[in-house]
Amino acid sequence: MKHKPALHSHPWWQHVADRHRPIARRRAAFGRLRLAARRRSNQLLLLAGVYGLLCLIPVLFGGSAISVLALVPVLVLPALGVLTWWLMWKEFHH
């Protein structure tokens, strides 16, 4: 069997800028995706999405009440945090 040379081994590729080579573009896109996955806000969104999907699984099997109970902390904790912040602010500013 004859070995097929890689795409970037052709002499023409030495005249093409790195950012225009297909392999470099794929690596750059993967690098951007990796950087986006490392951002804290994206991690929180991904985690909240996974939690939401896990909470919706019982709905498929007829357990909607347990799904509502599982989603209550997601809805109540931010409101409780805002209430705590407001009460502390009010205490120190009045």
48-83 pLDDT, tens digit per residue, is 888 888 888 888 888 777 777 888 888 888 889 999
Helix, strand, or coil (residue 1)? coil
What's the number of domains the chain is made of?
1
What is the band of 13 on the pLDDT scale with cuts at 50, 70, 90? low
CA distances from 23 to 8, 14, 56 (A): 8, 13, 40
Do 49 and 40 contact (CB within 8 A), yes or no? no
Residue 29 lies in a domain: yes
Handedness of CA 9, 11, 12, 13 (dihedral sign): positive
Q: Flag whether 65 is in a domain.
A: yes
Residue 8, in any domain of the structure: no
Residue 50 falls inside a structural domain? yes
- What local confidence, expressed as pLDDT, does residue 85 receive? 93
Where in the sequence is the domain holding 37, given as residue range(s)? Answer: 16-93
